[in-house]
Amino acid sequence: MQEYRHVLFATDLSPKAAEVGRHAQGLAARYGARLSFVHVIEEVNVSAGYELMPLLPEMPDEALTRESKAALARLAAELGLPEAVQTVLTSVSTKAGILDTAAELGVDLIVVGSHGRHGLALLLGSTADAVLHGARCDVLAVRLPD
Amino acid sequence: MQEYRHVLFATDLSPKAAEVGRHAQGLAARYGARLSFVHVIEEVNVSAGYELMPLLPEMPDEALTRESKAALARLAAELGLPEAVQTVLTSVSTKAGILDTAAELGVDLIVVGSHGRHGLALLLGSTADAVLHGARCDVLAVRLPD
């Protein structure tokens, strides 16, 4: 029988984050697994207009990183897991950031929220999709109401 | 805390089916949830050559359906769940068949195997992807070795 030992909750820190987090927490608890957190700050893609590049700071926005770390710490505390591993990183893609963290921590399950997709969102794809494509471990997509 | 009450294991009856099934079973057991099974026989898509149509039987292949039902029953028995709901249906798409069954049974989690995807398989998409796009409930993709 599959034993999950380490669950990674990948969160966008949206208003629904705690809801998805409780799913991840409940599952981890049932397996006696560790629960870690990751939030990825996606680098701005400027390929559509090179002329904008000089206007952008070369370094990741430190204030944004600091804010995200604080929000992730609040989320972990809200779930009663203030000591859990909390990773905030900047990456060219949310997918890459989540998968890199999953590989680094050696998790066997990634939990991610999944929105309904219509119109433009369907064309753009979703983080749940992207993670599913690249993950070397199991992925649980927690469905959020539209 | 999220309580899964009814888990649907969607299986392609491939050699790895029992492995994915044990994941589904272990999870259902931990939540005290029911576990049901579904296998979809995909209708042959003949849109690329209408001239082939008269050669195809109008009815779904009864022998294939019978064989699939027997294989699904063996799988359920192998997992020690011979009395579980086992649905075999023919549909224009595996996705539609799984989602219809999920809605009909009112499940709150679909478990499906997920293969690594490279080359052509990446272009064609996967059942896990397709189910994720349309599901109204949570989806657990169990990663299978390439």
- A17 neighbors A39 (Cβ within 8 angstroms): no
Over residues A15-25, mean pLDDT? 94
- Segment B135-146, tens digit of pLDDT: 999 999 999 877
Check pLDDT > 90 for residue B106.
yes
The CA-to-CA distance between both ends of chain B, in Å, stands at 34
- Would an 8 Å CB–CB cutoff place A31 in contact with chain B? yes
Determine the Cα–Cα distance for residues A88 and A61; give it in Å rounded to an integer. Answer: 12
**Residues contacting residue A116 through CB under 8 Å, at least 6 positions apart:** A143, A144, A145, A146
User: Could you report the predicted ipTM of this complex, rounded to two decimals?
Assistant: 0.87
The mean pLDDT of chain B is 87
- Would an 8 Å CB–CB cutoff place A133 in contact with chain B? yes
Residue B134 lies in a domain: yes
Of all residues in chain A, the percent with pLDDT exceeding 70 is 81
- A27 neighbors A140 (Cβ within 8 angstroms): yes
The letter for the amino acid at B75 is L
- CB-CB neighbors (< 8 A) of B139 in chain A: 114, 140-141, 143
Check pLDDT > 80 for residue B47.
no
Find which of A16, A22, A27 to mutate to test the B interface (most B CBs within 10 Å of its CB).
A27
The CA-to-CA distance between both ends of chain A, in Å, stands at 34
Residue contact A132–B132, C-beta within 8 A = yes
- Would an 8 Å CB–CB cutoff place B8 in contact with chain A? no
For B100, the domain range is 94-104+115-138
Task: Name the minimum distance, in Å, from the CA of A45 to any CA of chain B.
Answer: 24
Q: pTM of the predicted model, to two decimals?
A: 0.88
Task: Name the minimum distance, in Å, from the CA of A59 to any CA of chain B.
Answer: 34
Residue B103 has a pLDDT of: 97
Residue A133 lies in a domain: yes
Residue B115 has a pLDDT of: 79
Nearest alpha carbon to residue A42 among A87, A86, A85, A96? A96
Number of domains chain A contains = 1
Residue A95 Cα distances to A114, B128, B129, B136, angstroms: 14, 17, 15, 23
Lowest mean pLDDT among A35-49, A62-76, B26-40, B128-142: A35-49
Residue B65 lies in a domain: no
> CB count, 10 Å around CB of A143?
21
Residue A120 lies in a domain: yes
Residue B59 has a pLDDT of: 56
Check pLDDT > 90 for residue B60.
no
The mean pLDDT of chain A is 87
Of all residues in chain B, the percent with pLDDT exceeding 70 is 81
Calculated CA dihedral for residues B75, B7, A114, A139, nearest 10 degrees: -50
Residue B143 lies in a domain: no
- Segment A51-107, tens digit of pLDDT: 555 555 555 688 999 999 999 999 999 999 999 999 999 999 999 999 999 999 999
Residue B30 has a pLDDT of: 96
Who wins on pLDDT, B53 or B66?
A: B66
Residue A129 lies in a domain: yes
Which of A122, A135, A141 has the CB atom closest to B138's CB atom?
Answer: A141
Strand order in the sheet with A138-143: A86-91, A34-42, A6-10, A109-114, A138-143, B138-143, B109-114, B6-10, B34-42, B86-91
- Segment A104-133, tens digit of pLDDT: 999 999 999 987 665 665 555 688 888 988
Determine the Cα–Cα distance for residues A134 and B129; give it in Å rounded to an integer. Answer: 12
Residue B121 lies in a domain: yes
Residue A145 lies in a domain: no
